[in-house]
Amino acid sequence: MKTTWTMIEKTKGELHVEIDGEKWETAQKKALNKLAKNVQVPGFRKGKAPEDMVRKQITEQNILIEAVESIAQSALEAGLDEQKLTPISRPELGIDAVSKESVNMKFTFEVLGEVKLGEYKNLGITKEIPTVTPEEVDAKLEELRAQFAELVLKETGLVELKDTAVIDFEGFKDGVAFEGGKGENFALEIGSGSFIPGFEEAIIGMQSGEEKDINLTFPENYGAEHLAGQDVVFKVKVNEIKAKQLPALSDEFAKEVNHHDVDTLEGLKAHFEEELLENKQTKANQDFDNALLTKVVEGSEIDVPQVLIDDETQTMLEDFSNRLSQQGFSLKQYTEITGQSTDDLRTQMRIDAESKVKVRLVLDAVAQAEDIKVLADEIEKEYVQIAETYQMDLPKVKELASEATIAYDLRLRKAYDLIRESNQ
């Protein structure tokens, strides 16, 4: 058996395997025997006729095709072993030449491309040290006050931003009322963005009992096609105006809201300061991680196999579909509402998918350069951690995730930890 490997693109190549001699003769004999079992020769039971009579009903081409199919897998495995190759796409079989004397098979598939690492240590990137200002704490207190605000009827005055206007309304297109455009005693918070642009703004300045015609144009991308981009008139009457009455900031307020078991105003401030600082630290860590990985990737030369981008894009699409399902929507419903096709979503996700693949390839290259190993007890510890996190039985976790997968993820994590530590 002779094998050769030729790269035809940056990440795609052809493995040629030539088989002749006794191995090829044996494959043809087995092929003939297999085909002969289904040949009916008059006067003989199926599969029992003499070989020379059977051969008359089986073409040489059929024998060769069957022989190739029977030997292709073992030829591929032997070629991969000899050339030390690992396909990352399904090998496609082709025949360069075939005869009774020999067969030359061609297997086309993608392999991991070359990664030429740039600098990945001491990159000069610093992590932000976050702080929290009194103004930010006050803003959180105001948010909490707003949650416990009461709506109080305004006896006089006009509709203002953040007021709630209780209105009757009906929409007309070309003088005809359209479906879904009518409401009575509808409580609309001004500034909430609940209605199409311009509607809420037009109500500002109206007084209780006032009626008004509002001329608007629906957005071009509006969900209802018969209204998208259309000019309409809304007849509106303000029945009542209500304003938010915020509770006073005091220890009594803290006791009433009982936010995280805090019962004093100073305790609330301390809690929000700690919460804000924690969130900022999380974001600072994420920004630092992203900046590091971006610089390492941009400083490296990476040949990215298309099949890895396609696989990652599909995974992202499936994850998105699952998240929609958890919210009670299907992917089909989402595409119908947004006017996007599944292919449109794939195109949008492909950019992020390529970035994720590049990060994995670079981290894998760092792991190789640093000879990073993953120990058996580390794999076991990771299994236990996953089981505890997702409240699953340990045997089930091991069934769902192979040791090779766990080891690969841990190896990349170790590679990134090395990068991170060298830049702190």
Whether 209 and 294 share a structural domain: no
List the end-to-end C-alpha distance of the chain, in Å, as a whole number: 54
pLDDT tier, 159 (very low <50, low <70, confident <90, very high otherwise): very high
Residue given tokens 């990737």 in the structure block: 297
For residues 331 and 349, is the Cβ–Cβ distance under 8 A? no
Domain assignment of residue 43, given as a range: 2-111
Asked if 96 and 165 sit in the same domain, the reply is no
- Please tell me the total count of domains within the chain: 3
* Separation in Å, CA 150 to CA 100, 161, 248: 92, 16, 12
Residues 226, 281 within the same domain: no
Distances (CA, A) of 382 to 36, 190, 198, 419: 55, 51, 54, 21
pLDDT digits (tens, 9 = 90+) for 363-416: 999 999 999 999 999 999 999 999 999 999 999 999 999 999 999 999 999 999
Q: At 47, is the pLDDT very low, low, confident or very high (cuts 50, 70, 90)?
A: low
For residues 129-145, average pLDDT: 95
Give the least confident one: 2-6, 38-42, 173-177: 38-42
Is the same domain home to 338 and 407?
A: yes
Helical pair 376-389 and 403-422, crossing angle rounded to 10 deg = 100
- Give the domain CATH number at 168: 3.10.50.40
Residue 44 is predicted with a pLDDT of 63
**225 and 293, same structural domain?**
no
- Specify whether 104 is located in the same domain as 195: no
Query: Which CATH number is 361's domain given?
Result: 1.10.3120.10
| pLDDT value of position 337 | 83
328 domain-assigned: yes
Q: Look over the chain and give the mean of its residue pLDDT values, rounded to a whole number.
A: 92
- Residue 381: what pLDDT? 96
Q: What is the pLDDT of residue 268?
A: 93
What is the model's pLDDT at position 94? 96
Quick one: average pLDDT of 265-277? 95
Nearest Cα to Cα of residue 95 among 178, 32, 14, 159: 14
Q: What local confidence, expressed as pLDDT, does residue 277 receive?
A: 97
Residue 82's CATH number: 3.30.70.1050
- The pLDDT of residue 53 is above 70: no
Report pLDDT for 74.
Answer: 95
Share of the chain above pLDDT 70, in %: 96
Same domain, 190 and 239: yes
| pTM for this model (two decimals) | 0.70
> Residue 43 has what pLDDT?
61
Question: Residue written as tokens 């001004």?
Answer: 190
Please report which helix (H) or strand (E) contains residue 202, including its range. Answer: helix 199-203
Q: Are residues 281 and 409 in the same domain?
A: yes
Determine the pLDDT at residue 221.
86
Spatial separation of the C-alpha atoms in residues 180 and 169, rounded to whole Å = 11
